[in-house]
């Protein structure tokens, strides 16, 4: 073989066809197998759906780059680490391969799915062991918060957030906190966590220490925990005490919020507690001296004081003349009037008033005041201003069943009896005649200065109409009227505005035998008139009965006259002869 041919064959034999075709050198089969075995041992398979542990090698604005010892690094969105805002390079995290290769050829991992797979095991273990777990508060919900614990959404009740009532739930959103798993519902996959349970454990230790040291009269620092209408609950560092509203201030208050506010720090004094020291009664006002002890020593009966109306009742008003010092103005001391009214007629809560001290008892801490004493007693010269018989105009203040009270001026009230309202009308109740607030003319009938009583009359302001009615409605007079009302024993007829006559039932009979009824108009004859008792009795029946009686009497008289005439005539004619004989005899004797 020629040397040239040998060189060609040698060239073809030595030529690296793999490099020519693939661009790389050929790999020895044994070496390739060894390399693949080494890769299998070194790198994890991306076909598995197992949870693996990776290391954060880089953090970008949006993603965390995690090395899971695979052929390439994986990417996890930072949104999956919201519960762990302190994530940093080098942290180990559990991941699950979500996408082997995205459109960019990138391995996509999921931390959230990995946490979910392992979460239940961890939650159950934390519940069984009492382990404290970290959770991320995601959002508010009805009655509490939603917390991410190991990737599971757990419920945090509002009552389990803190030992004190929570007023602003939003302050906890997007925060990482420690919790204890307190309840698991395996059927519905529900988890309940508590932050309060962690606090209570520490508080319980403090509580035992505090309770063991409690003594009456001890002053402690506390924080306002809750405010109610009846008092304020104070947190003494794990132990709650109550300040009743009456122990908040020496002054009267309507609601504790006028004195204290939530979360306010203050000193309180222990007033009392039960045997177990679970109910602790606290005081705030007791830290200051009683206002009565600081009251001006020169203040005495007869002095004038100013104050504010703090309490109002029907019987009087309480006036605060100094902080924590009150005096009572009884309603009887508000006006000189003997006719008592309600205190609300004179003052209202919040009014600033001036009063005179009537009594002062520093030991019992009582004071009575008066307003009317600031003005002159109107009864001092009552006889000069309102002599008996004088006429005045007053205001109707109120009614009683027997009359009305008329105010002539402030402090001067007089009584008008119901019988002194009208000369003619029969009034059953004063409201039929006047209304409260009306002006009424009156005459002073009686005056009792010592008894402070004034008797008034209204009807006396006009002449007694019965004086003129005595002649107009005399017995036998006839008047026309209509039946206004029918009662059991008869009926009534109104003759004008003043005279109401009574018609007995038997006097209602008409000439045809029927009886008059309501609304019928007829003539009536007065058969009785009594000025003293203002009584008029009339009859319709008497009118036609009298005519009948007159006719009967006329007939009787006519018949009687006829009989007398006949008798006279008979006697005269019968006695003519006798008279003649008598006359002759008398003449004979004379001769």
The β-bridge partners of 94 are 53
Q: How many CB atoms lie within 10 A of CB 318?
A: 20
What are the strands, taking DSSP E only, across 410-498? 412-417, 439-448, 453-457, 478-487, 490-495
C-alpha radius of gyration, the chain, whole number: 59
316-322 and 280-283 beta bridge pairing: unpaired
Neighbouring residues of 445: CB distance < 8 A, sequence distance ≥ 6: 388, 420, 455, 456, 457, 460
Residue 589, Cα to own-chain centre: how many angstroms? 131
Question: Residue 72 phi/psi, 5° resolution?
Answer: -145, 160
* Global pTM exceeds 0.75: no
* DSSP character at residue 427: -
Contact assessment for residue 454 and residue 414, using Cβ atoms and an 8 Å cutoff: yes
The β-bridge partners of 92 are 55
Q: In whole angstroms, give the CA distance from residue 246 to residue 249.
A: 7
Please give the C-alpha separations between residue 427 and each of 292, 375, 402, in angstroms, as whole numbers.
Answer: 56, 38, 10
Domains detected in the chain: 29-115 (2.40.50.140), 130-199 (2.40.50.140), 214-287 (2.40.50.140), 291-374 (2.40.50.140), 378-461 (2.40.50.140)
User: Exposed, middle or buried: residue 323 (CB in 10 Å: 0-12, 13-18, 19+)?
Assistant: exposed
**3-state SS, residue 538:** strand
pLDDT in tens, the chain (591 residues): 555 555 666 666 666 655 656 555 555 555 545 545 544 444 444 445 577 888 888 889 888 888 887 767 888 888 888 878 888 888 888 888 776 666 666 787 877 787 777 778 888 888 888 888 888 999 988 889 999 888 788 999 988 888 777 778 888 888 888 898 988 888 877 889 998 888 777 777 777 777 777 888 888 899 998 999 999 999 887 788 899 998 998 888 889 998 899 889 999 999 988 766 678 899 998 888 888 887 888 888 989 999 999 888 888 999 998 888 889 999 888 887 766 678 888 888 888 999 999 999 888 889 999 998 888 888 888 888 899 999 999 999 888 888 999 988 887 889 999 988 987 777 888 888 899 889 999 999 999 888 888 899 998 898 887 777 777 888 888 889 999 898 888 999 988 767 888 999 989 988 888 888 888 899 999 999 887 777 889 998 888 877 665 555 555 555 555 555 444 444 444 445 555 555 555 555 554
Q: In whole angstroms, give the CA distance from residue 22 to residue 48.
A: 31
Q: In whole angstroms, give the CA distance from residue 138 to residue 147.
A: 6
Q: In whole angstroms, give the CA distance from residue 325 to residue 334.
A: 20
């Amino acid at each position: 073989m020629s040397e040239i041919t040998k060189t060609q064959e040698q060239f073809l034999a030595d030529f690296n066809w793999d490099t020519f075709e693939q661009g790389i050198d050929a790999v020895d089969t044994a070496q390739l197998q060894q390399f693949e075995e080494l890769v299998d041992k070194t790198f994890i398979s991306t076909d598995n759906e197992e949870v693996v542990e990776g290391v954060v090698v880089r953090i970008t604005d949006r993603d965390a780059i995690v090395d899971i010892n695979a052929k390439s690094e994986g990417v996890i969105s930072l949104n999956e680490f919201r519960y762990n805002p302190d994530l940093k390079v080098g942290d180990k995290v559990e991941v699950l391969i979500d996408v082997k290769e995205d459109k960019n050829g990138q391995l996509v991992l999921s931390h959230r799915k990995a946490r979910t797979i392992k979460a239940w095991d961890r939650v159950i273990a934390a519940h069984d062991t009492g382990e404290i777990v970290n959770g991320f508060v995601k959002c508010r919900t009805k009655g509490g918060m939603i917390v991410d614990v190991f990737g599971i959404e757990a419920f945090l009740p509002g009552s389990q957030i803190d030992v004190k009532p929570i007023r602003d739930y939003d302050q906890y959103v997007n925060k990482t906190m420690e919790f204890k798993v307190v309840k698991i519902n395996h059927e519905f996959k529900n988890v309940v966590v508590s932050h309060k349970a962690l606090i209570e454990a520490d508080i319980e230790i403090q509580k035992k220490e505090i309770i063991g040291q409690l003594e009456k009269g001890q002053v402690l620092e506390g924080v306002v925990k809750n405010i109610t209408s009846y008092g304020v609950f104070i947190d003494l560092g794990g132990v709650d005490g109550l300040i009743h509203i009456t122990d908040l201030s020496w002054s009267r208050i309507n609601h504790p919020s006028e004195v204290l506010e939530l979360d306010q720090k203050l000193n309180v004094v222990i007033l009392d507690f039960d045997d177990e020291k679970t109910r602790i009664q606290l005081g705030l006002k007791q830290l200051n001296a009683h206002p009565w002890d600081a009251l001006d020593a020169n203040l005495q009966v007869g002095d004038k004081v100013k104050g504010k109306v703090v309490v109002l009742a029907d019987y009087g008003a309480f006036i605060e003349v100094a902080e924590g010092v009150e005096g009572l103005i009884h309603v009887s001391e508000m006006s000189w009037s003997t006719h008592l009214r309600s205190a609300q007629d004179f003052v209202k809560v919040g009014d600033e008033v001036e009063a005179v001290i009537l009594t002062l008892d520093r030991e019992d801490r009582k004071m009575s005041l008066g307003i009317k004493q600031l003005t002159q007693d109107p009864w001092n010269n009552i006889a000069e201003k309102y002599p008996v018989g004088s006429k005045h105009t007053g205001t109707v203040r109120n009614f009683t069943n027997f009359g009305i009270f008329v105010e002539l001026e402030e402090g001067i009230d007089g009584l008008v009896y119901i019988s002194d309202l009208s000369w003619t009308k029969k009034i059953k109740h004063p409201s039929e005649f006047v209304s409260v607030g009306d002006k009424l003319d009156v005459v002073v009938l009686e005056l009792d200065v010592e008894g402070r009583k004034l008797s008034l009359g209204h009807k006396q302001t006009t002449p007694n109409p019965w004086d003129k009615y005595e002649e107009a409605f005399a017995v036998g007079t006839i008047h026309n009227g209509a039946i206004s009302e029918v009662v059991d024993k008869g009926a009534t007829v109104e003759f004008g505005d003043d005279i109401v006559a009574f018609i007995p039932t038997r006097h209602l009979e008409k000439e045809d035998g029927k009886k008059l009824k309501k609304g019928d108009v007829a003539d009536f004859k007065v058969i009785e008139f009594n000025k003293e008792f203002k009584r008029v009795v009339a009859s319709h029946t008497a009118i036609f009965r009298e005519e009948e009686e007159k006719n009967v009497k006329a007939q009787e008289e006519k018949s009687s006259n006829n009989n007398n005439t006949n008798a006279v005539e008979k006697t005269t004619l019968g006695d003519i002869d006798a008279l003649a004989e008598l006359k002759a005899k008398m003449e004979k004797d004379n001769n």
